[in-house]
Amino acid sequence: MSTEELGDAEQGGRRSGRVQSVDRAVALLRAVARARRPGDATVAALAATCGLNRATAWRILTTLEAESVVACDRRTGQWQIGVGLVELAGVASVDTLVGSARPVLERLSLQTGETAALAVFRADKLTYVDEVAPTSVVAASWKGRTVPVHATSTGKALLAFLPAESARHLITGRLKRYTETTITDRHALDVELDETRRRGFGVCRGEYEASAYGVSAPVLDNHGHPLALVSVWGPGSRLTEERFDALGEIARDAAESVARPRSALR
């Protein structure tokens, strides 16, 4: 912390017990989250929004970036919410999400005749935290399992709706092949993610496990960022590609049902 910031913290502490540098960081985070138009999320614009000088805003933002709380697109100079903050939100709210999603998963499984599941991103991993399987179906449980983001419908739905810089952070390096249908070409994955955003759900054609086909839709917060993912999955012999569109719409509606109680609280 700089001398200026230490002075601010001491003065703020004497006045109200608040740490001014933390107040500024929170104000900048909120400004980044609320930025909508091109140009609203540059350092200069964010500093003006928060009543800070540009140098102070830059120091705070780069500190937050080091912790992945925000991310900067160096090509445009625009700042956006980082994957670290998405992860923190997922950890803090996972119990609430599981509780509110459970009846939705039960209805989803009954409606589709397939396994319905909920996944969240936390600790740099995409993990299934709850699932409901039809009583007539014998299926392996995915609850507690982590899955790769490029080879599952759940992961592709996450990548498609994350801020671009945060998504790139999750798919650095070589894309691992798990089955014959795993997408390992970056351009092909980008095309798939564009299509996922357009239709509102991701699909998987046995790309992580050859026998597992599925569709997934994001549970979005008020800013359009994914808090969790709702999925429907089953064997390819039953969950065929011909069913993807219908099941995707059902999964998307289910994800909106999970998000709705959260929106009502705001």
Residue from 26, 27, 9 nearest 18 by CA:
9
> How many other β-carbons are positioned within 10 Å of the β-carbon of residue 208?
20
Residue from 248, 218, 222, 249 nearest 119 by CA:
218
- Residue at 42: amino acid letter: T
8 A C-beta contact, residue 189 and residue 214: no
Q: How many helices (H) and strands (E) does the chain have?
A: 9, 8
**Per-residue buried b or exposed e for 177-207, using 16+ beta carbons within 10 Å of the residue's own CB:** ebeeebbeeeeebeebbeebeebbbbbbbbb
Res 1: pLDDT: 45
Res 221: pLDDT: 82
pTM of the model: 0.65
Paired residues of 79 in beta bridges: 72
Helix axes 20-34, 54-66, angle to 10 degrees: 80
d(CA 195, CA 199): 6
**Per-residue buried b or exposed e for 108-122, using 16+ beta carbons within 10 Å of the residue's own CB:** bbeebebbbbbbbbb
Mean pLDDT by 10 residues, the chain (266 residues): 47 65 93 86 94 95 91 88 71 68 93 94 86 78 89 96 88 93 96 97 96 95 87 93 96 91 42
8 A C-beta contact, residue 77 and residue 43: yes
